[in-house]
Amino acid sequence: MGLLSKKDAALIKDPLFDNNPVTIQVLGICSALAITAELEASIVMAIAVLFVLGIGNVLISLMRNIIPSKIRIIVQLVVVATLVIIVDLVLKAYAYELSKTLSVFVGLIITNCIIMGRFEAFALANSPWQSFLDGIGNAAGYGIILVMVGFFRELLGAGTLLGIPVLGDPIEKTGLYALGYENNGFMLLAPMALITLGIIIWAQRSRNKALIED
Protein backbone atom coordinates (compact mmCIF):
# COMPACT_ATOMS: atom_id res chain seq x y z
CA MET A 1 0.00 0.00 0.00
CA GLY A 2 2.53 2.57 -1.10
CA LEU A 3 -0.09 5.07 -2.10
CA LEU A 4 -2.09 5.01 1.08
CA SER A 5 -1.01 5.53 4.64
CA LYS A 6 -1.92 2.81 7.11
CA LYS A 7 -4.83 4.81 8.46
CA ASP A 8 -6.24 5.44 4.99
CA ALA A 9 -5.90 1.78 4.07
CA ALA A 10 -7.86 0.85 7.18
CA LEU A 11 -10.69 3.11 6.01
CA ILE A 12 -11.13 0.88 2.98
CA LYS A 13 -10.34 -2.46 4.59
CA ASP A 14 -12.38 -2.31 7.79
CA PRO A 15 -15.84 -2.07 6.27
CA LEU A 16 -15.13 -5.00 3.97
CA PHE A 17 -15.32 -7.62 6.70
CA ASP A 18 -14.88 -6.71 10.35
CA ASN A 19 -17.13 -3.67 10.28
CA ASN A 20 -19.27 -4.58 7.30
CA PRO A 21 -22.15 -2.12 6.87
CA VAL A 22 -24.68 -4.84 6.08
CA THR A 23 -23.87 -7.69 8.42
CA ILE A 24 -22.46 -5.77 11.38
CA GLN A 25 -23.92 -2.28 11.31
CA VAL A 26 -27.27 -3.51 9.88
CA LEU A 27 -27.53 -0.69 7.36
CA GLY A 28 -28.73 -0.62 3.81
CA ILE A 29 -30.67 -3.85 3.78
CA CYS A 30 -33.79 -2.08 2.56
CA SER A 31 -33.02 -1.54 -1.07
CA ALA A 32 -30.70 -4.46 -1.51
CA LEU A 33 -32.28 -7.83 -0.96
CA ALA A 34 -35.04 -7.77 -3.50
CA ILE A 35 -32.70 -7.49 -6.46
CA THR A 36 -30.29 -10.29 -5.55
CA ALA A 37 -32.14 -13.04 -7.42
CA GLU A 38 -29.68 -12.50 -10.28
CA LEU A 39 -25.96 -11.92 -10.03
CA GLU A 40 -25.96 -9.29 -12.78
CA ALA A 41 -28.50 -7.09 -11.02
CA SER A 42 -26.56 -7.40 -7.76
CA ILE A 43 -23.34 -6.28 -9.43
CA VAL A 44 -25.01 -3.30 -11.09
CA MET A 45 -26.63 -2.30 -7.81
CA ALA A 46 -23.26 -2.56 -6.05
CA ILE A 47 -21.62 -0.34 -8.68
CA ALA A 48 -24.46 2.20 -8.44
CA VAL A 49 -24.05 2.44 -4.67
CA LEU A 50 -20.27 2.67 -5.06
CA PHE A 51 -20.70 5.64 -7.40
CA VAL A 52 -23.30 7.41 -5.25
CA LEU A 53 -21.51 6.88 -1.96
CA GLY A 54 -18.03 7.70 -3.27
CA ILE A 55 -19.03 10.94 -4.98
CA GLY A 56 -21.64 11.87 -2.37
CA ASN A 57 -19.19 11.51 0.49
CA VAL A 58 -16.73 13.82 -1.28
CA LEU A 59 -19.42 16.41 -2.00
CA ILE A 60 -20.72 16.42 1.56
CA SER A 61 -17.19 16.57 2.90
CA LEU A 62 -16.39 19.58 0.69
CA MET A 63 -19.51 21.34 1.96
CA ARG A 64 -19.15 20.27 5.57
CA ASN A 65 -18.13 23.70 6.81
CA ILE A 66 -20.91 25.61 5.09
CA ILE A 67 -23.91 23.36 5.78
CA PRO A 68 -25.96 24.70 8.72
CA SER A 69 -26.48 21.73 11.00
CA LYS A 70 -30.23 22.29 11.22
CA ILE A 71 -30.89 21.61 7.57
CA ARG A 72 -28.16 19.07 6.94
CA ILE A 73 -30.61 16.19 6.40
CA ILE A 74 -32.31 18.04 3.56
CA VAL A 75 -28.95 18.94 2.00
CA GLN A 76 -27.86 15.32 2.23
CA LEU A 77 -31.10 14.12 0.67
CA VAL A 78 -30.71 16.56 -2.22
CA VAL A 79 -27.14 15.42 -2.89
CA VAL A 80 -28.10 11.74 -2.87
CA ALA A 81 -31.22 12.31 -4.92
CA THR A 82 -29.24 14.17 -7.59
CA LEU A 83 -26.64 11.42 -7.84
CA VAL A 84 -29.31 8.75 -7.94
CA ILE A 85 -31.12 10.55 -10.75
CA ILE A 86 -27.85 10.47 -12.72
CA VAL A 87 -27.49 6.73 -12.10
CA ASP A 88 -31.11 6.14 -13.06
CA LEU A 89 -30.83 8.08 -16.31
CA VAL A 90 -27.57 6.36 -17.26
CA LEU A 91 -29.12 2.95 -16.60
CA LYS A 92 -32.19 3.82 -18.63
CA ALA A 93 -30.01 5.01 -21.51
CA TYR A 94 -27.47 2.17 -21.67
CA ALA A 95 -29.07 -0.83 -19.91
CA TYR A 96 -32.80 -0.46 -20.32
CA GLU A 97 -33.70 -4.09 -19.60
CA LEU A 98 -31.68 -4.03 -16.40
CA SER A 99 -33.27 -0.80 -15.26
CA LYS A 100 -36.64 -2.53 -15.65
CA THR A 101 -35.46 -5.39 -13.40
CA LEU A 102 -34.18 -2.98 -10.78
CA SER A 103 -37.35 -0.86 -11.14
CA VAL A 104 -37.98 1.26 -8.05
CA PHE A 105 -34.94 -0.07 -6.25
CA VAL A 106 -32.64 2.37 -8.02
CA GLY A 107 -34.71 5.19 -6.57
CA LEU A 108 -34.56 3.56 -3.19
CA ILE A 109 -30.78 4.07 -3.08
CA ILE A 110 -31.79 7.53 -1.83
CA THR A 111 -33.11 6.11 1.40
CA ASN A 112 -30.37 3.50 1.66
CA CYS A 113 -29.32 3.90 5.26
CA ILE A 114 -25.65 3.25 4.46
CA ILE A 115 -25.44 6.45 2.47
CA MET A 116 -27.12 8.71 5.00
CA GLY A 117 -25.24 6.91 7.75
CA ARG A 118 -21.83 7.55 6.20
CA PHE A 119 -22.70 11.17 5.44
CA GLU A 120 -23.70 11.75 9.04
CA ALA A 121 -21.03 9.71 10.72
CA PHE A 122 -18.02 10.33 8.52
CA ALA A 123 -18.22 12.87 5.71
CA LEU A 124 -19.44 15.69 7.95
CA ALA A 125 -16.28 15.46 10.04
CA ASN A 126 -13.48 14.42 7.70
CA SER A 127 -11.49 15.64 4.72
CA PRO A 128 -12.66 14.87 1.16
CA TRP A 129 -9.93 12.32 0.40
CA GLN A 130 -10.58 10.31 3.55
CA SER A 131 -14.31 10.57 2.98
CA PHE A 132 -13.82 9.25 -0.53
CA LEU A 133 -11.90 6.23 0.76
CA ASP A 134 -14.48 5.66 3.46
CA GLY A 135 -17.27 5.82 0.90
CA ILE A 136 -15.53 3.39 -1.44
CA GLY A 137 -14.79 1.01 1.44
CA ASN A 138 -18.32 0.95 2.76
CA ALA A 139 -19.89 0.65 -0.66
CA ALA A 140 -17.52 -2.22 -1.42
CA GLY A 141 -18.45 -3.93 1.83
CA TYR A 142 -22.09 -3.61 0.85
CA GLY A 143 -21.30 -4.81 -2.66
CA ILE A 144 -19.48 -7.92 -1.43
CA ILE A 145 -22.52 -9.06 0.55
CA LEU A 146 -24.83 -8.28 -2.37
CA VAL A 147 -22.69 -10.22 -4.84
CA MET A 148 -22.38 -13.13 -2.41
CA VAL A 149 -26.14 -13.40 -1.94
CA GLY A 150 -26.71 -12.95 -5.67
CA PHE A 151 -24.12 -15.62 -6.51
CA PHE A 152 -25.69 -18.30 -4.32
CA ARG A 153 -29.24 -17.44 -5.24
CA GLU A 154 -28.64 -17.53 -8.97
CA LEU A 155 -26.40 -20.60 -8.85
CA LEU A 156 -28.68 -22.70 -6.68
CA GLY A 157 -31.93 -21.29 -7.99
CA ALA A 158 -31.41 -21.24 -11.72
CA GLY A 159 -28.11 -23.06 -12.24
CA THR A 160 -26.70 -20.05 -14.08
CA LEU A 161 -24.23 -17.26 -13.36
CA LEU A 162 -24.72 -13.93 -15.11
CA GLY A 163 -27.29 -15.75 -17.24
CA ILE A 164 -24.79 -18.36 -18.47
CA PRO A 165 -25.65 -21.94 -17.53
CA VAL A 166 -22.78 -23.40 -15.50
CA LEU A 167 -24.23 -26.63 -14.17
CA GLY A 168 -25.33 -28.09 -17.49
CA ASP A 169 -28.73 -28.06 -19.14
CA PRO A 170 -31.68 -28.98 -16.88
CA ILE A 171 -33.85 -30.05 -19.80
CA GLU A 172 -31.29 -32.01 -21.79
CA LYS A 173 -29.96 -33.48 -18.52
CA THR A 174 -26.31 -32.75 -19.08
CA GLY A 175 -23.60 -31.91 -16.57
CA LEU A 176 -24.69 -32.11 -12.92
CA TYR A 177 -28.28 -32.67 -13.93
CA ALA A 178 -27.28 -36.07 -15.35
CA LEU A 179 -26.55 -37.12 -11.76
CA GLY A 180 -30.08 -36.27 -10.68
CA TYR A 181 -29.40 -32.71 -9.46
CA GLU A 182 -32.36 -30.33 -9.58
CA ASN A 183 -32.55 -26.55 -9.44
CA ASN A 184 -34.06 -25.21 -6.25
CA GLY A 185 -36.49 -22.67 -7.66
CA PHE A 186 -37.27 -21.57 -4.15
CA MET A 187 -33.95 -19.75 -4.01
CA LEU A 188 -35.28 -17.24 -6.53
CA LEU A 189 -38.17 -16.22 -4.30
CA ALA A 190 -37.93 -13.23 -1.99
CA PRO A 191 -37.78 -15.00 1.41
CA MET A 192 -34.63 -16.91 0.51
CA ALA A 193 -32.68 -13.66 0.24
CA LEU A 194 -33.25 -13.13 3.95
CA ILE A 195 -32.36 -16.67 4.87
CA THR A 196 -29.22 -16.61 2.70
CA LEU A 197 -28.13 -13.40 4.39
CA GLY A 198 -28.90 -14.93 7.80
CA ILE A 199 -26.62 -17.85 6.95
CA ILE A 200 -23.84 -15.52 5.75
CA ILE A 201 -24.07 -13.67 9.08
CA TRP A 202 -23.96 -16.98 10.89
CA ALA A 203 -20.83 -18.06 9.03
CA GLN A 204 -19.12 -14.71 9.58
CA ARG A 205 -19.83 -14.66 13.30
CA SER A 206 -18.79 -18.23 13.86
CA ARG A 207 -15.40 -17.36 12.36
CA ASN A 208 -15.01 -14.15 14.33
CA LYS A 209 -16.24 -14.72 17.86
CA ALA A 210 -15.80 -11.06 18.80
CA LEU A 211 -18.83 -10.14 16.69
CA ILE A 212 -21.31 -12.31 18.59
CA GLU A 213 -24.14 -10.29 20.18
CA ASP A 214 -25.13 -10.42 23.89
Partner 1 sequence: MEHIELFLKSIFIDNMVFATFLGMCSYLAVSKKVSTAVGLGAAVIFVLTITVPLNWLLDQYILQPGALSWLGEEYAAYDLSFLSFILFIATIATMVQLVEIVVEKFLPSLYNSLGIFLPLIAVNCAILGGSLFMQSREIPTLGLSTVYGIGSGIGFFLAILTIAAIREKIRYSNVPPALRGLGITFIITGLMAIGFMSFGGMLTGDDEEAKEEKTAQVNTVIKNTNKELANNTKVNE
Interacting residues toward partner 1 by CB under 8 A: 23, 26-34, 73-74, 77-78, 81-82, 84-85, 88-89, 103-104, 107-108, 110-113, 116, 171, 189-195, 197-199, 201-203, 205-206, 209, 212-214
Environment class of residue 160 by beta-carbon count within 10 Å: exposed (0-12), middle (13-18) or buried (19+)?
middle
Beta-ladder partners of 165 = 160
Specify the residue, 129 or 173, whose C-beta has the smaller distance to partner 1: 173
Considering the complex, what minimum distance in angstroms separates the CB of residue 1 from partner 1?
31
Specify the residue, 6 or 70, whose C-beta has the smaller distance to partner 1: 70
Cβ atoms of 159 and 170 within 8 Å: the answer is yes
Considering the complex, what minimum distance in angstroms separates the CB of residue 201 from partner 1?
4
Specify the residue, 121 or 190, whose C-beta has the smaller distance to partner 1: 190
Specify the residue, 16 or 30, whose C-beta has the smaller distance to partner 1: 30
Considering the complex, what minimum distance in angstroms separates the CB of residue 193 from partner 1?
7
- Give the distance between the most distant pair of CA atoms in the chain: 65
d(CA 138, CA 172) in angstroms, rounded, equals 43
Specify the residue, 7 or 209, whose C-beta has the smaller distance to partner 1: 209
10, 16, 3, 7: which is closest to 147 by C-alpha?
A: 16
205, 178, 53: which is closest to 115 by C-alpha?
A: 53
Specify the residue, 5 or 100, whose C-beta has the smaller distance to partner 1: 100
Considering the complex, what minimum distance in angstroms separates the CB of residue 6 from partner 1?
30
Considering the complex, what minimum distance in angstroms separates the CB of residue 158 from partner 1?
14
Considering the complex, what minimum distance in angstroms separates the CB of residue 129 from partner 1?
26
| Strand runs labelled E in 1-159 | none
Q: Which residues of 40-65 are buried (b: 16+ CB within 10 A; e: fewer)?
A: bbbbbbbebbbbbbbbbbbbbbebbe
